[in-house]
Chains A and B, each alone.
Chain A
Amino acid sequence: MPAVAEAAVLAAGLEKRYGPRAVLRDISFRLDAGGVLLVTGPNGAGKTTLLRMVAGLAVPTRGSLHVAVDRRDVGYVAHEPLVYLELTAVENLDLFGRLYRVDERRERIGMLLERFGLWDVRHERVSAYSRGMTQRLALCRALLHDPALVVLDEPHSALDDEGAALLDDELAARVAGAGGTLVLATHDPGGVTALATSRLELERA
């Protein structure tokens, strides 16, 4: 009997409403562990809402959404960086590392800051960063605890070519090496989208 891959994310008849307005309607999909789901669609189609539900920040109004991993084993890159602007990069990552109970936190933080090119500005407040540097820090925060499921909402936005290439390399390594699972919404046609094992096209509800 062939082995059946465990579903990392399984959605059935998903609907999300804010008041009377339906943002998502009747969305169903399955993403196997180790797979990459590319979510596409026009502005206002509900991509961000869907990703927030997968990340555990929102609950569906109707339907079911099963995420196999613990909610703290999800790394989420949102439109906003989800960090404190008046803390430094090190202070932010130290706080989130404590909350995620990251082993050898200092080493992990140092490694990520080096990799994403923020080491030299690690003691500067995030409010002094450019938009691209803040996005790099957001990626460090999302990957800090080495999550099994990474949810990325337009992760290339504000990144320069070098930053985008770093991100693509990091995600490709996660998929190839550790069998990481990705859910990705992007308008960027190149790079990481080539990794997609399945696609979900959303339309305005």
Chain B
Amino acid sequence: MTAYFGDVAALARKDLRLEVRARDTLPAMALFVVATLVVFHFALPATASGDAAYGLLWVAIVFTALLGLGRAWAPDGEAGALDGLVLATADRSAIWLGKALATLAFLAVAEVVALPAFALFFAPLDGPAVAGVVLASVGICAVGSLVSAMAAAARGREVMLPLLFLPLAIPLVVGGVGSSVSSDPGTFLAFLGLYDAVFAILSWAAFEYVVTE
């Protein structure tokens, strides 16, 4: 088990190192989420309900994550490096977990930028809303890392990723918005936690079949 998590840590570190050198995912995510919130700020009528803004926050988060996921496997595909990892790892699910953790780190940085921007343009987020963002981000990265690997191996990957990812992200948006606006956020947080657990297990178990022809 220690060796497994050692592999995961090495793989996640590799993704962070590649991003620090290339800087082609994180700046794009941070700029995109801020730009989206600015557009929403001017697009939302002054008379709109405060709850509507929370919905827009989730639109911004999901599409920012989609932007990151679209680039997630690019360095692995460039010179067949993913095949090298598939050959070398004792448990191939470590590749998925390493990627999910690295993607989560990128999304967390984008959210660290996005949440204060949201508070500036719309309204501050309370504790349950922030917890909803955290839990939904885990689910986004768990399921997103799997489907982006599937899309990366397919023809028309730019089309495939949103087609596969967005339907699976709908429950996360429901849970995230619910934790922000509901009088009973606990139910929605529990729902998000359950989603994370179920989809993390499914993605962990399915990854082996995604990377074998």
Contacts and interface: CB of A to CB of B under 8 A. Distances in A.
- Same complex origin of A and B: yes
B79 A82 contact: yes
Interface stretch (A6-14, A84-92, A172-180, A183-191): A84-92
Interface string B39-82: 00000000000000000000000000000000000011011110
Contacts of A96: 84, 88
B75 to A, nearest CB: 6
B75 A101 contact: no
Contacts of A52: 213
B90 interface: yes
Contact of B87 (A76, A101, A125): A76
A74 B212 CA distance: 16
A56 B6 contact: no
Nearest to B83: A82
Interface residues of B, number: 26
Contacts of A91: 14, 17
B154 to A, nearest CB: 13
B96 to A, nearest CB: 14
B213 A141 contact: no
Nearest to B89: A99
B87 A84 contact: no
A119 B11 CA distance: 24
B10 A141 contact: no
A83 B81 contact: yes
Interface of A: 52, 55-59, 71-72, 74, 76, 78-87, 91, 95-96, 98-101, 125-126, 134, 141, 145
Given A85-B79, A86-B21, 18 more contacts: A52-B213, A57-B83, A71-B87, A72-B90, A81-B79, A83-B81, A84-B18, A84-B79, A84-B81, A85-B78, A86-B18, A86-B75, A87-B18, A95-B10, A98-B7, A98-B10, A99-B85, A100-B88
